[in-house]
Amino acid sequence: MKTLEEKIGYSFRDRSLLENALTHSSYANEHRAAGVPSNERLEFLGDSILGLVVADHLYRTRPDLPEGDLTRIRAALVCEGSLVQVAQALDLGSYLKLGKGEDHGGGRARPSIQADAVEAMLAAVYLDGGIGQVRKLIHRLVLDQEQEKTAAGRDYKTALQELVQRENGQVLSYRLTGESGPDHAKVFAMEVLLNDGVIGSGQGRSKKEAEQAAAKAAVLTLEGEAP
């Protein structure tokens, strides 16, 4: 636990909060007789804290953006994929307490479990040190990636639709070209076609994410920004 505290830059006064944040429900269920709590309640609290801190930051620092853009950027910053990146940077999976079945089934690398643990950890810091401490942590782990996520927050499918509609008779469609990876970590590959010709391709953890990636590639090509 001390190593993880060093990674996040915060030392707990009550280390049991951090231990609780890292305890998955599968472990808690196996140790129910001992009264071991899962991190689900902390996850609930952490989700709200993260959303508040990110929304407050964007409101104060981006007066140029309308509500729709702020919403998309916030969604990109607090989404599962963003939190999984945080978890991976901290190697959070290695600290998790999982039930035997979940552990053997690859639970330490499961995106949903990693993302939930990040939210629970944020709640633990909040309860232990207050809003100032968790705000610092969120800025360091999440908001430092804002510039990158601002681009990620753009709705590329809508942007692509607007680009091609400048000419009449243009037809856009998306085509799934492949799936890979285990069930708990699927990767989907998608192509976007304009009048049956491929103009972009991309991958994602869901079909919707893959469509956005393909649309982004197409938008950058049409706007002349492709490498």
Does the annotation list 64 as a binding residue? Answer: no
- 154-181 burial string, b = 16+ CB within 10 Å, else e? bebbeebeebbeeeeeeebebeeeeeee
From residue 195, how far is each of 26, 72, 106, 110, 164 by CA, in Å?
49, 29, 42, 38, 10
Does the annotation list 43 as a binding residue? Answer: yes
- What the block records as the tokens of 184 is 């708990």
Does the annotation list 116 as a binding residue? Answer: yes
Q: Residue 21: how many CB atoms within 10 A of its CB?
A: 28
| 14 is known as an active-site residue | no
Query: Of 29, 49, 54, nearest to 39 (Cα)?
Result: 29
From residue 183, how far is each of 105, 110, 174, 211, 213 by CA, in Å?
10, 10, 23, 19, 21
Check 5, 40, 47, 183 and give the catalytic one.
47
Q: Is residue 81 within 8 Å of 209, Cβ to Cβ?
A: yes
Measured over the CA atoms of residue 215, residue 220, residue 223 and residue 224, the dihedral's sign is: negative
Q: How far apart are CA 85 and CA 152, in angstroms?
A: 14
Check 102, 119, 146, 211 and give the catalytic one.
119
| 47 is known as an active-site residue | yes
**Catalytic positions, written as ranges:** 47, 119
Binding residues for Mg(2+): 43, 116, 119
Binding residues: 43, 116, 119
